[in-house]
Each structure stands twice: as structure tokens, then as C-alpha cells.
């Protein structure tokens, strides 16, 4: 199993550009999440999904959009990139709330907006 796969690993965007961060999991997890982590800080939840077709906002959703058309894929869309969106983005997945295996994370996407 590949687990959670994120692409790209690194990206530099110019202010105002848009991009999509891809996230795919092959563990048949129902729940998927997008987090951002600023240097030296904890993770902040951007959006999450409890199943295909169901998404909801987290703590810091402004400037982002998501979709969940399949169980496996949960892409994150950045529209009109701003320097404040410079961060490391992690996608994660889990079977269910409170599952004994917790969350599995992708390796992250390091995004710089200049």
C-alpha cells in the first residue's frame, strides 16, 4: 500500500496564481483532512471530509476550496495565492473518528508564494 500520496512536493507560486494540491489514499479511509503547518507551529485544519460528496470547513478555510468526488481523492484548490499561504500542507486520512490507528499523513507539499 502506498498510504497517502501528495503531489507536488514543492511549489513556488506568484501572487495571484492558482493551483491544486493533490491527495490520494489507497486505504479505503472514509475521512480525509487538509492541514497547513507554518514554521515552528502546530497544524491548522483547513477542510475535512467524512465521505465522498461531503466536505466541511475547518479552522482556516479562507482562500481554499476542496472537493471529494471519490473515496480516494481529496484535492485542495488555492485561488488567488497570497504570501500568507506560504506554508507546508499536509493531507491526512483515517478510517473513522476515534479509530485506534489514528491518522495517516502524506509527506507534505511545501508551498512558497512570492
Partner 1 sequence: QQPVQSPQAVILREGEDAVINCSSSKALYSVHWYRQKHGEAPVFLMILLKGGEQKGHEKISASFNEKKQQSSLYLTASQLSYSGTYFCGTEMDSNYQLIWGAGTKLIIKP
What phi and psi values does residue 83 have, to the nearest 5 degrees?
-55, -30
CB of 80 to partner 1, least distance (A): 26
Q: How far is the CB of 92 from partner 1 (least distance, A)?
A: 8
* Nearer to partner 1 (CB atom), residue 80 or residue 93: 93
Cβ closer to partner 1: 32 or 81? 32
The nearer residue to partner 1, 77 or 110, going by C-beta atoms, is 110
For residue 53, the 8-state DSSP code is: T
Residue numbers of the site for partner 1 (CB under 8 A)? Answer: 31, 33, 35, 41-45, 48, 50, 56, 58-59, 90, 97-108
Block residue for cell numbers 481523492: 73
Residue 20 or 105 with smaller CB distance to partner 1: 105
DSSP label of 85: G
Helix (H) or strand (E) holding 45: strand 43-51
* Cβ 60 vs Cβ 11: under 8 Å: no
Amino acid at each position: 500500500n502506498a498510504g497517502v500520496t501528495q503531489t507536488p512536493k514543492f511549489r513556488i507560486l506568484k501572487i495571484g496564481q492558482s493551483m491544486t494540491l493533490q491527495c490520494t489514499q489507497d486505504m479505503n479511509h472514509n475521512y480525509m483532512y487538509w492541514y497547513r503547518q507554518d514554521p515552528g507551529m502546530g497544524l491548522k485544519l483547513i477542510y475535512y471530509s467524512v465521505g465522498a460528496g461531503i466536505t466541511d470547513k475547518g479552522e482556516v478555510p479562507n482562500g481554499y476550496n476542496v472537493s471529494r468526488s471519490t473515496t480516494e481523492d481529496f484535492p485542495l484548490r488555492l485561488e488567488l495565492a497570497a504570501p500568507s499561504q506560504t506554508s507546508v500542507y499536509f493531507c491526512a486520512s483515517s478510517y473513522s473518528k476515534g479509530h485506534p490507528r489514528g491518522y495517516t499523513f502524506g509527506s507534505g507539499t511545501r508551498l512558497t508564494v512570492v
